[in-house]
Amino acid sequence: MKNILVAEDDRSLRDGLVQSMSRSGYKVQVAQTGKDALEKIEKQVFDLVIAGHRVGGADGLEILRKARSTNAGTLVIVTGENGSGAVEAMKSGAFDYLQKPLSLEAFEMKIQRAMEHQRLVVRLSSMTEPLADPSDRYGLVGNSSSMREIFKVIDKVAASNATVLIQGETGTGKERVAEAIHRNSPRHDAAFVRMNCASLPDNLLESELFGHEKGAFTGADQMRIGRFEMANDGTLFLDEVGNMSANTQAKVLRAIQNQEFERLGGSRTIKVDVRIIAATNINLEAAIKDGKFREDLYYRLNVVNTMVPPLRERVEDIVPLAEYFLKRFARELRRRVAGFSAEAVRRLQEYRWPGNVRELENTIERAVLMCEGDSIRPVDLTLLDREHTLGMTPALAVDLLNLEALEKTALLEALKRSNWIQKEAAKLLGVSSRVMNYKVHKHGITHDRWSKNRN
Ligand SMILES: Nc1ncnc2c1ncn2[C@@H]1O[C@H](COP(=O)(O)OP(=O)(O)OP(=O)(O)O)[C@@H](O)[C@H]1O
Ligand SMILES: [Mg+2]
């Protein structure tokens, strides 16, 4: 539900707005004073803020700036009399400036327009990176027979609500496949919500999945909705589903089976309509035998099963993928690199790719950065020597993957230190905002302060 804050000094306009917008299904909150507005903006994410030019104690511009700097996705409409502050407001990033007196109907139309605008922006921003080629329905590069099999599965299951279990080694593209199913499904306008089930300890994971009521535990000073609720009408992607505790597995099973659950610390049953896609890189059948995974949950998840093979088993996908990444990084990093030398291609094809497509992606990123001429040569590829490649030990493979983890740790650290303002974090790391934004997306880093829908 869209969250709106009304900080409007004109009482009758304010009451009218609250009534009509609540009726249209928006969640509306009112700030009586400027201070109240600033505090609310600090604590919650709003999709839209309506700021009167003169609200008790602060002016509309202050509210506007606060809202824009706290969450770039928030739209702000400023109202005022005889155009005072209009230019300033538009300069400071207001979506619109409305001059009073203004009829309620006219105001409502402006709000509708703002909401429509926001919906489009969210859709566009979630589409730009992965779907580099808009003619590609799946957003997946590769034409090997196993990829074509996967496309067939996507086509077959997208339209239904069937739960899909995607298996495969790390970095093979499981999440991409899940996204492709969502994008091609009737749910594509609603959210695709990810949850990595291995990333959090038990109690935190449950609170992430199901949300919690105010006061559910120490520190829960506000009600929070969980991923099941966020994914309502859309798709919930449960990543690394093999790593949940028995207790959480039981709750997840019920939520999937009955499409209902309670928030932590709450008694009200919440109904949702969520499609589940799960992924795992461990062998669930073995986990069942070891008593670590519930068999009934497995059958629930495993209605449709698909396996994304490791890259070394679909060598014909390596060059198309490498070329796709080359184009993307050349654009992203503003480098003129046109292609690969013949020897470089051979190296790419012979390497075993223990980290699969993700490792290839990182290798090409580094190569584009290192490359001095107009094509990538073997020296630009930081692969292990050919002799080592075939019999590569798992420890070495892990080292390569750790480069990724290091980068993510650095990003998180910088973001934390700069209070989750991406621009500031970019400065700390000495990269451009563009690169920062791109990296944040790449690692799937999200934060409450950023636009909710974008994650
Ligand atoms: N077929 C593909 N076409 C284009 N990009 C791909 C493809 N497969 C994977 N990628 C890219 O490779 C990276 C790893 O993919 P993804 O995150 O989907 O893998 P995963 O199987 O979920 O990995 P993990 O098990 O580590 O979570 C991502 O950046 C993704 O965009
Ligand atoms: Mg994944």
List, for residues 283-330, the tens digit of each pLDDT value.
999 999 999 999 999 999 999 999 999 999 999 999 999 999 999 999
User: Which ligand is nearest the CA of 146, by number?
Assistant: 1
User: What's the pLDDT score for residue 226?
Assistant: 92
List, for residues 119-167, the tens digit of each pLDDT value.
666 555 444 444 444 347 899 999 899 999 999 999 999 999 999 999 9
User: What's the pLDDT score for residue 132?
Assistant: 45
For a substitution probing ligand 1, which of 144, 358, 407, 439 has the most ligand atoms within 8 Å of its CB?
Answer: 358
Residue 98 has pLDDT above 80, yes or no: yes
Q: In this structure, are residues 1 and 25 in contact, taking their beta carbons and an 8 Å threshold?
A: yes
d(CA 134, CA 237): 23
| 3-125: CATH number | 3.40.50.2300
User: What's the pLDDT score for residue 71?
Assistant: 73
User: What's the pLDDT score for residue 446?
Assistant: 87
User: Which CATH architecture describes the domain 312-392?
Assistant: Orthogonal Bundle (1.10)
User: What's the pLDDT score for residue 402?
Assistant: 58
Max Cα–Cα distance, the chain, nearest Å = 78
Ligand 1 atom at shortest distance from the alpha carbon of 442: 29
User: Which ligand is nearest the CA of 154, by number?
Assistant: 1
Long-range contacts of 419-426 (CB under 8 A, 24+ apart): 420/447, 420/449, 420/450, 421/69, 422/450
d(CA 455, CA 450): 9
Q: In this structure, are residues 236 and 277 in contact, taking their beta carbons and an 8 Å threshold?
A: yes
Residue in the structure block whose two tokens are 């302060």:
449
103 beta partners: none
Residue 389 has pLDDT above 50, yes or no: no
| CATH 3.40.50.300 applies to domain 160-309 | yes
CA distances from 84 to 91, 104, 382 (A): 13, 20, 59
Token representation of residue 31: 């700030």
User: What's the pLDDT score for residue 2?
Assistant: 80
Residue 177 has pLDDT above 60, yes or no: yes
More confident residue, 444 or 154: 154
d(CA 129, CA 146): 24
Mean pLDDT over residues 22-43, rounded? Answer: 89
Separation of CA 393 and ligand 1 centre (Å): 22
Reported residue count of the chain is 455
User: What's the pLDDT score for residue 399?
Assistant: 52
User: What's the pLDDT score for residue 327?
Assistant: 93
Q: Which of 46-60, 157-171, 350-364, 411-425 has the lowest mean pLDDT?
A: 46-60
User: Which residue puts its alpha carbon closest to atom 18 of ligand 1?
Assistant: 173
For a substitution probing ligand 1, which of 169, 174, 176, 363 has the most ligand atoms within 8 Å of its CB?
Answer: 176
Residue 393 has pLDDT above 70, yes or no: no
Separation of CA 448 and ligand 2 centre (Å): 21
Mean pLDDT over residues 362-379, rounded? Answer: 89
Return the closest-CA partner of residue 443 out of 406, 394, 416: 406
List, for residues 332-344, the tens digit of each pLDDT value.
888 889 899 999 9
Mean pLDDT over residues 204-230, rounded? Answer: 90
More confident residue, 17 or 306: 306
User: Which residue puts its alpha carbon closest to atom 29 of ligand 1?
Assistant: 358
User: What's the pLDDT score for residue 181?
Assistant: 97
- The ligand 1 site (C-beta within 6 Å) comprises 140-142, 168, 170-176, 239, 279, 281, 321, 357-358, 361
Q: In this structure, are residues 47 and 53 in contact, taking their beta carbons and an 8 Å threshold?
A: no
Q: What percent of the chain has pLDDT over 70?
A: 89
User: Which ligand is nearest the CA of 130, by number?
Assistant: 1
User: What's the pLDDT score for residue 57?
Assistant: 64
Ligand 1 atom at shortest distance from the alpha carbon of 360: 12
More confident residue, 49 or 89: 49
165 beta partners: 278, 305
Mean pLDDT over residues 349-375, rounded? Answer: 90
Question: Can you give the chain as a three-state secondary structure string?
Answer: CCEEEEECCCHHHHHHHHHHHHHCCCEEEECCCHHHHHHHHHHCCCCEEEEECEECCEEHHHHHHHHHHHCCCCEEEEEEECCCCHHHHHHCCCCEEEEECCCHHHHHHHHHHHHHHHHHHHHHHHHHCCCCCCCCCCCCCCCCHHHHHHHHHHHHHHCCCCCEEEECCCCCCHHHHHHHHHHCCCCCCCCEEEEECCCCCHHHHHHHHHCECCCCCCCCCCCECCHHHHCCCCEEEEECHHHCCHHHHHHHHHHHHHCEEECECCCCEEECCCEEEEEECCCHHHHHHCCCCCHHHHHHHCCEEEECCCHHHCHHHHHHHHHHHHHHHHHHCCCCCCEECHHHHHHHHHCCCCCHHHHHHHHHHHHHHHCCCCEECHHHCCCCCHHHHHCCCHHHHHHHHHHHHHHHHHHHHHHHHCCCCHHHHHHHHCCCHHHHHHHHHHCCCCCCCCCHHHC
Domains 160-309 and 405-454 share a fold: no
Residue 72 has pLDDT above 60, yes or no: yes
Can you give the residue ranges of every domain in the chain? Answer: 3-125, 160-309, 312-392, 405-454
Separation of CA 332 and ligand 1 centre (Å): 18
Residue 282 has pLDDT above 80, yes or no: yes
Provide the mean pLDDT of the chain.
85
Nearest 10 degrees: Cα torsion 167, 169, 173, 177: 0
Ligand 1 atom at shortest distance from the alpha carbon of 168: 21
User: What's the pLDDT score for residue 1?
Assistant: 64
Confidence grade of residue 106 (pLDDT, cut at 50, 70, 90): confident
Confidence grade of residue 202 (pLDDT, cut at 50, 70, 90): confident
Separation of CA 174 and ligand 1 centre (Å): 6
More confident residue, 445 or 454: 445
User: What's the pLDDT score for residue 455?
Assistant: 37
Residues with CB under 5 A from ligand 2 (ion): 175, 239
Residue 208 has pLDDT above 50, yes or no: yes
Ligand 1 atom at shortest distance from the alpha carbon of 196: 27
Separation of CA 128 and ligand 2 centre (Å): 19
Mean pLDDT over residues 196-209, rounded? Answer: 90
Residue 347 has pLDDT above 70, yes or no: yes
Separation of CA 276 and ligand 2 centre (Å): 15
User: What's the pLDDT score for residue 134?
Assistant: 39
Separation of CA 170 and ligand 1 centre (Å): 8
d(CA 127, CA 349): 30
| 405-454: CATH number | 1.10.10.60
